[in-house]
């Protein structure tokens, strides 16, 4: 039997881009409908589907690899897809909020400044500016870390469930 080596990079790139584009469209729809910070069951359900969607490419990889899947391959595919998707979403977020809709970020910063001044009336404008910048950086960093951790957990669980090793006998049959 001829070994069927399928490139994991192909799956990572293809489905990472697809999921990133779908997530970007979803983010733009939420932004356009002014539901970026709205939390309800409908948006949470869509978010959950997007977070567990790396299971499908892992399943496809297994199907195209004659039913065989190593746990390391599943982790590699899931983490790669999560990395590409998260990078695309962060880039689109920066483009939308910082460049296209800059008045949105100005309004958000003004609201933040008012809230900070209500809680700490003695703060200087430099301190407020420093807090706002650090909040923006930390929220992006936490988004990145959370998505990668969730991608790791999803790919670990799906890889553990779907894994199937080649038997030694099958390796030597020709």
Q: From 53, 56, 71, select the one nearest 159 (Cα to Cα).
A: 71
Report d(CA 36, CA 33) in Å as an integer: 8
Strand partners for 69: 164
Residue 18 pLDDT: 95
Report d(CA 70, CA 30) in Å as an integer: 37
Residue 93 pLDDT: 83
Q: Which backbone phi and psi does 128 adopt, to 5 degrees?
A: -65, -45
Residue 55 pLDDT: 92
Tens of pLDDT along 35-46? 877 788 888 899
User: Does the pLDDT value for residue 73 go beyond 60?
Assistant: yes
Tell whether pTM > 0.75: yes
Contact in structure between 151 and 79 (CB atoms under 8 Å) = yes
Tens of pLDDT along 136-163? 677 788 889 999 999 999 999 999 998 8
> Whose structure tokens read 């807090």?
131
Average pLDDT score over residue span 13-31: 91
Report d(CA 105, CA 12) in Å as an integer: 33
Residue 20 pLDDT: 93
Q: How far apart are the first and last CA of the chain?
A: 5
């Amino acid at each position: 039997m001829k070994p069927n080596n399928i490139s994991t990079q192909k799956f990572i790139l293809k489905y990472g881009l697809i999921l990133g584009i779908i997530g970007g469209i979803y983010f733009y729809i939420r932004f356009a409908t002014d539901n970026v910070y709205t939390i309800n069951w409908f948006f949470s359900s869509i978010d959950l589907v997007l977070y567990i969607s790396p299971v499908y490419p892992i399943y496809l990889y297994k199907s195209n690899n004659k039913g065989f899947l190593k746990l390391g391959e599943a982790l590699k595919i899931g983490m790669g897809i999560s990395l590409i998707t998260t990078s695309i979403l962060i880039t689109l977020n920066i483009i939308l909020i910082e460049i296209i809709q800059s008045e949105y970020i100005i309004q958000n910063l003004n609201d933040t400044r008012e809230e900070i001044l209500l809680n700490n009336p003695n703060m200087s404008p430099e301190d407020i500016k420093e807090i706002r910048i650090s909040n923006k950086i930390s929220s992006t960093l936490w988004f990145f870390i959370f998505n990668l951790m969730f991608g790791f957990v999803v790919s670990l669980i799906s890889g553990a469930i779907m894994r199937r090793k080649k038997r030694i006998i099958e390796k030597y049959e020709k």
